[in-house]
Chains A and B, each alone.
Chain A
Amino acid sequence: MVKCSCGKRAIIYVKVKGKYMCEDCFLRYFERTALNTIRRHKLIDKRDKIAVGVSGGKDSLALLYFLNEHFDNEIFGIFINEGIKGYREITSKDLRKYCKRFGVECYEFSFKEEIGMTLDEMVKRGRLKPCSYCGVFRRYLLNKKARGLGATKLAMAHNLDDEAQTILMNLFTNDVKRFMRLGYMTGIKTHPKFVPRIKPFRLLYEKEVLVYGLLKGIRVTYIQCPYAEQAYRVRIAHVLWKLERKYPLLKYNVVKVFDPKLRELKERAKDEELRECKICGEVTNRDICKACEFKRELKIPIS
């Protein structure tokens, strides 16, 4: 039997620590890592009102649970229903069940009502990949709604795997602008209309997040977004899984080696001005925001 250093049966090997851990020691390690991330990067202030971007998936539910357990701040979920048939109905059911269990309020908004079209309809009508529309409109609505509900921070459940994928995607496409979305907190370059995004799970492997959730009784329906196979991200993820098997800690190293570079890039981008979209008034770094541009392409009347 492989044992934890405390003598109990190990259930997981924690690569970052090079240790086999039992349930209790793992839970302590997990929560400590997230709390240290929050403290070290000053992600949460006592006065913050925290919106958590939730999808009904295991990661965001684990984050909602964790924050609600450890902080006295006002915390609520924001769920964006993109309108993906056969997928969102299921995850939203899981979401409601767990929000009720945790005693956390969750606000729901849909593409259909807020943008004027479901993602399924956009995919039929537009030229771009589903993830392009989904990403832009979801980010747009999360920020707008978080602000509308009075949130001062928007917590996202991005984990180490997500972050490593994003770094490589941006690297491979030479997309420096997108590097701004990386890091523990984005939107430091404050604009009153931008709610800073925080990522408390940034240094935790996705597998660790799943195990944490399972140990806390979070077991959601397994379902994959039907558009995932078309996503560049998913292809990168497949490669990373294979590499990580051969070279343990590879994802961690990708994220860590990039941190100093990230600071430099963010510093350089500070001069770039954030402003309000001439059409909708939401915050953007261009004249017309990406959401309004996409609406135009999709021929959605702009109100």
Chain B
Amino acid sequence: MRVLREWDKRQIEVKIKGRRMIRRVLEEMGINPEEYVIIKNKRIVGEWEEVKDSDELVIIPVVSGG
């Protein structure tokens, strides 16, 4: 699954077997889902939704600017 990090525009490949909850995937990446809005296949989704390997995620940090 392709994950785009909005803050540095980096794309990361994450291997997903079957279906997994987004919350778990992010936590394994060391990311606190609380601090991000998740876009799955161009739609905003909750961290409780599931992903499969062919999905595309964008993670947007809530905090920006200053």
Contact = CB atoms under 8 A, between A and B. Distances in A.
Is A bound to B?
yes
Interface of A: 2, 10-13, 20, 23, 55-59, 91, 161, 206-207, 210-211, 214-215, 220, 222-225, 227-228, 231, 234, 237, 241-242, 244-245
Contact of A225 (B60, B62, B65): B65
Most-contacted residue by chain A among B7, B39, B60 (CB, 10 A): B60
Given A244-B34, A245-B32, A57 B46 contact: no
Contacts of B32: 241-242, 245
B35 A241 contact: yes
A161 B34 CA distance: 12
B65 A55 contact: yes
B16 interface: no
A222 B6 contact: yes
10 contacts: A2-B48, A58-B65, A206-B63, A207-B62, A214-B60, A215-B44, A224-B65, A225-B65, A227-B66, A241-B34
B65 A59 contact: yes
Nearest to A11: B44
Given A241-B32, A244-B34, A57 B64 contact: yes
Nearest to B39: A214
A210 B66 contact: no
Given A2-B46, A20-B46, A211-B44, A222 B66 contact: no
Contact of A228 (B6, B48, B66): B66
A36 B60 CA distance: 28
B60 A231 contact: no
Interface residue tally on B, bucketed by range: 20 to 34
B37 A207 contact: yes
Contacts of A161: 62-63
A55 B66 CA distance: 9
List of 5 A-B pairs having minimum Cβ-Cβ separation, nearest first: A225-B66, A57-B65, A228-B66, A245-B34, A207-B62
A93 B65 CA distance: 14
Given A12-B44, A59-B65, A91-B65, 8 more contacts: A10-B46, A11-B43, A20-B46, A58-B64, A214-B39, A222-B61, A223-B65, A237-B63
Contacts of B37: 207, 210-211, 214
Contacts of A91: 65
Contacts of A224: 7, 63-66
A2 B22 CA distance: 14
B46 A222 contact: no
B37 to A, nearest CB: 5
Most-contacted residue by chain A among B7, B32, B35, B39 (CB, 10 A): B35
Nearest to B36: A207
